[in-house]
């Protein structure tokens, strides 16, 4: 396993459509392992393959609910409700924005054994699924940020005032 370089905003690869994964190969299996290691090294909750320079439909997510999620060729089937909150991205370091996403999502995907499954998610997991699926279609959260981007230091100062 290896920590891969994360592509950042301005890198053209982040604006491209990703290709579906047709077969599980040793390279895709290694990519998934590396993506988890890379995500954990940066304290992220999710990571999509284009963020590490690979134009494949692969997403990994860990929102501290006791599960590691692998979504290959994910497709959001339905959404419900809405939630508005702070959102950041490993490809947009040091920044966050206020974004409205669905409160609940239902997604179908393949797991790391290329077996199809459906996942119903809400809250932070739903937000992460939507955010990471956007990456697979060349979209960044900055396009959805309701009042522009803010420095993470502003959020830390605000949290300190609440204490």
Supply the DSSP symbol for 137.
T
Of the residues 103, 120, 132, 156, which is catalytic? Answer: 132
> Is position 132 annotated as part of the catalytic site?
yes
Helix/strand/coil percentages in the chain, nearest 5: 30, 30, 35
Calpha distance 163→161 (Å, rounded): 6
What is the C-alpha separation between 69 and 46, in angstroms, rounded? 9
3-state secondary structure of 74: strand
Report d(CA 92, CA 54) in Å as an integer.
17
Distance CA 81, CA 74 (A): 20
Burial state string for 47-83 with b = 16 or more CB within 10 A and e = fewer than 16: bbbbbbebebbbbbbbbeeeeebbbbbbebeebeeee
- Residues recognised as catalytic: 132
């Amino acid at each position: 396993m290896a920590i891969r370089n994360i592509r950042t905003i301005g890198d053209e690869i982040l604006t491209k459509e990703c290709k579906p994964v047709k077969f599980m190969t040793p390279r895709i299996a290694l990519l998934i392992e590396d993506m988890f290691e890379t995500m954990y090294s940066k304290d992220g909750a999710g990571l999509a393959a284009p963020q590490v320079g690979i134009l494949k439909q692969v997403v990994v997510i860990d929102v501290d609910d006791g599960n590691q999620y692998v979504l290959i060729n994910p497709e959001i089937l339905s959404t419900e409700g809405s939630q508005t909150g702070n959102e950041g991205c490993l490809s947009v370091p040091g920044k966050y924005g206020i974004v409205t996403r669905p409160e609940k999502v239902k997604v179908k995907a393949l797991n790391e054994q290329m077996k199809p499954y459906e996942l119903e998610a809400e809250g932070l997991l739903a937000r992460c699924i939507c955010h990471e699926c956007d990456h697979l279609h060349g979209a960044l959260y900055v396009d959805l940020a309701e009042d522009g981007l803010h420095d993470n230091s502003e959020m830390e100062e605000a949290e300190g005032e609440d204490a």
